[in-house]
Structure 1
Amino acid sequence: MAEIQAPIIPVVADWLRQCPAAISLGQGVAFYGPPEEALARAGRFGQNADEHKYGPVQGQPQLLALIRAKLAAENGMDLTGRQVVVTAGANMAFLNALFAITDPADEVILPSPYYFNQEMAVRMVGCEPVLAPTDDDYQLRLDAIRAAITPRTRAVVTISPNNPTGAVYGESALAEVNALCRERGIYHICDEAYENFLYGQARHFSPGSLPDSAGHTISLYSLSKAYGFASWRIGYMVVPDHLYSAVLKAQDTNLICASRIAQEAAIGALQTGSAYCREHLATLAGVRRAVLDELQALRGCCAIPATDGAFYFLLKLNAPLEAMVVAERLVREYGVAVIPGNAFGWEEGCYLRLSYGALQPDTAVEGVRRLVNGLLRLSGEHSP
């Protein structure tokens, strides 16, 4: 555990506590709260004595039924040969998957930049993360993934829409990865936590909808982002039948069952439906456009791939600076917080992730203006 990176979010949060006037473009959550039906169901919870007892490890039957209907209607997934498990968020689903499929010293391929909690989880179970670089627009490189596979490889992970880059992977790229995993006898772990956050012509694709995908595809989902209740910790996973017993063992040991009051809220959220997220997406799309407009001032000193999903941009500063140092100086000297790219596995170069999802439009724009001002000044310190 001592060798595993410390989570970066609490570090940045500590800087923010010391600089209370700073604006955070750090943690990735949506600016809105849960739908009324979710809150109403949670408010009614507890009147029945049975509700205070453990529930089924895999989740409450009513919630499971709603999830299955959603997967069929929105993800095009045939659940024949698969099982659904309700988890305490997609992070727990990922850890459940690792417990189910890996032995110590196995390898898991993470396209880089990676989501830091996944890299941490791989190391915690005694496995080795193997990085497969993406291209300049943060899109998957099948050649890099193929080259990374060894006899110890157990899975390839894809996150689309992506954290930390916001990249959306196309159907053909995800289908190629899924086919490669099937050919090599390894698993394809598909993290789809941001499936509802898409802009312009971008479209979400679930690899679990592919023919012949049931036996080797593990799909992870979150209700936290789309329905605005990150702190409730509720998500779910879809696994092949043959992994179901192992996943339930992992879940029962770590959690027993997802919080029943959170499951009640999730029932209300799914009954409201994903249109709830789409109602707020226009606001996020407007913030995204405004953020991109403000970032144009950095074109001379920064690479800014304009990705089409989630609520992130990953910037590369064209200056010989350390990302961690830059991130701390931005908070203390310029009043804005971002996440340094080394947390996502990019040690070479100065990468910074900004999130525009959590703030009201005016605050987000002010935060980006502070960021632009800070980066221009910090870059100027190292100009010839």
Structure 2
Amino acid sequence: MSPFSPFIRATTPPPVMEARRWIQGKTFPADRPLINLSQAAPIDPPPEALRAQMARMVVNEPDTHLYGPVLGLPALRAEIAGRWSAAYGGEIEPADVAITGGCNMAFCAALATLAIPGDAILLPVPWYFNHKMWCDTVGIDAIPLPCDARMNPDIEAARPLMSGHVKAIVLITPNNPTGAEYPAGLVAAFAALARAHGAALILDETYRDFDSRETRPHNLFADPGWRDVLIHLYSFSKAFRLTGHRTGAIITSPERLAEVEKFMDSVAICAPTLGQKAALWGLRHLGDWVAGERAEILRRREAITRGLARLPGWKLLGAGAYFAYVEHPFAMRSDELCRFLVDEQSILTLPGTMFSPDPEGARQIRIAFANADPDGLGRALDRLAELTHRLPRRDAPPLATPLASPEASA
């Protein structure tokens, strides 16, 4: 008898850790240093003003080192409720808000309140791999939901997939990995579909601070009955660069948060207090700084959109937040190509096979530009252009002498 859970055994190993192993122990030429386009999170530290406040908290505020309330610091919950109410044009109370140890934990907690092994959720494909991993870990079926040509989840394809076993529809907007910004009307349609089937809509808005639209991304909180269907997720890792401090949020009904509290107390007791205090200070003082970060990300989005347009055979499928999701033209699978890019062009990206079980994933790549400015993106695109002129294409006859495989060149 195996001492391992069959669920955890069947779960895919962490894709980001796999990609890091591709560069482990490697050296890169001085004239072609590594360009890391795999990171979906900022690698720079929080802004200096926030770091100074965090240092003061660590030294002068003893409760920073203690357990806090399981559902989060009351001041942070109240601040989120007020700001989100204003931003979305709805009524959100502090009792609707909980703070979690990062947004991944918010997703896990939400699913723990909804489903048991044998139940199912709808996940748009390509999906965020950590969502799929958690479903596999706890024995919940992740039903692939196809997206259209604009990388928006297909509402008509979703309708026949709904059943009594489907406990939630999961949407991420702006999306990871595609960058797609879902139209407000589409989000509302999915909320209505979930409500009609007694399911929840889990709406992950981790990247909402980098949405290119000036209008509200949706109006779900304006519906007085939003608590019956909506579970909103958010992360402070991106807006304030608090990735290592694991601070996320979940907004849903107080009745569901009572169940979330059980999950949190069993897993982490509470989110890290320092991260919560930092998030509260950031919300109160860093609005202009976040606006500048958004402007920079939009500048990078424009740079990579223009740059990819000049690469023969490449197709931009979606771009937004930190991501460009592209279809490559080459006659090899994307998982092979991404390893080849490390060795041949000193570029680290993630293959679509990490985000999709469908054959299309073998033709797709996620390019994350959170940590590459327009100049760095330009250098990466130049390297891809050079490769485009010498790698065999899917639509071209095979070479008489096959190109060396990534394994052969490793």
Measured against aligned partners, the alpha-carbon deviations of 1:9-50 in whole angstroms (never above 9, x if no partner) come to 111112223244321111112465424443233111243444
Match of 1:92 among 100, 105, 117: 105
In 1, Cα distance between the equivalents of 2:383 and 2:146? Answer: 31
Q: Secondary structure at the match of 2:9?
A: coil
Q: Secondary structure at the match of 1:196?
A: helix
Report if aligned partners of 2:331, 2:394 keep a CA contact under 8 Å in 1.
no
In 2, Cα distance between the equivalents of 1:52 and 1:220? Answer: 26
Report if aligned partners of 2:40, 2:368 keep a CA contact under 8 Å in 1.
yes
The structural deviation recorded for 1:124 is 1.1
In 2, Cα distance between the equivalents of 1:39 and 1:27? Answer: 22
1:323 pairs with 2:330 = no
1:102 pairs with 2:115 = yes
The structural deviation recorded for 1:346 is 4.2
Counterpart for residue 299 of structure 2: 286
1:240 pairs with 2:243 = no
Counterpart for residue 3 of structure 2: none
Counterpart residue type for residue 272 of structure 1:
H
The structural deviation recorded for 1:76 is 2.5
Counterpart for residue 10 of structure 2: 3
Counterpart residue type for residue 127 of structure 2:
Y
TM-score, normalised to structure 1, is 0.93
Q: Cα distance 1:34–1:368, how it changes in 2: closer, same or farther (>3 A)?
A: same
Counterpart residue type for residue 183 of structure 2:
G
Q: Aligned-pair RMSD on alpha carbons?
A: 2.1
1:339 pairs with 2:350 = yes
Match of 2:233 among 208, 211, 220: 220
The structural deviation recorded for 1:167 is 0.3
Report if aligned partners of 1:108, 1:127 keep a CA contact under 8 Å in 2.
yes
Counterpart for residue 142 of structure 1: 155
Identity value in percent: 29
Match of 1:39 among 41, 51, 72: 51
Q: Cα distance 1:197–1:31, how it changes in 2: closer, same or farther (>3 A)?
A: farther
Q: Secondary structure at the match of 1:225?
A: helix
Q: Secondary structure at the match of 1:190?
A: strand
Report if aligned partners of 2:87, 2:216 keep a CA contact under 8 Å in 1.
no
In 2, Cα distance between the equivalents of 1:164 and 1:306? Answer: 9
Deviates more, 1:117-126 or 1:39-48: 39-48
Counterpart residue type for residue 166 of structure 1:
G
Residues 1-384 of structure 1 mapped to structure 2, 5 A cutoff: 1-17=8-24, 18-20=26-28, 21-30=33-42, 33-46=45-58, 47-79=60-92, 83-199=96-212, 204-205=217-218, 207-298=220-311, 300-307=312-319, 309-349=320-360, 350-380=363-393, 383-384=396-397
Counterpart residue type for residue 182 of structure 2:
Y
In 2, Cα distance between the equivalents of 1:375 and 1:274? Answer: 42
Report if aligned partners of 1:98, 1:125 keep a CA contact under 8 Å in 2.
no
Deviates more, 1:112-121 or 1:73-82: 73-82
Gap runs ≥5 in structure 2: 1-7, 398-410
Gap runs ≥5 in structure 1: none
Q: Which has the higher contact order (CA 8 A, sep 6+)?
A: 1
Matched residue count: 382
Measured against aligned partners, the alpha-carbon deviations of 1:149-191 in whole angstroms (never above 9, x if no partner) come to 1221000001000000000011110001001111110000000
Q: Cα distance 1:27–1:186, how it changes in 2: closer, same or farther (>3 A)?
A: same
Q: Secondary structure at the match of 2:237?
A: coil
The structural deviation recorded for 1:265 is 1.0
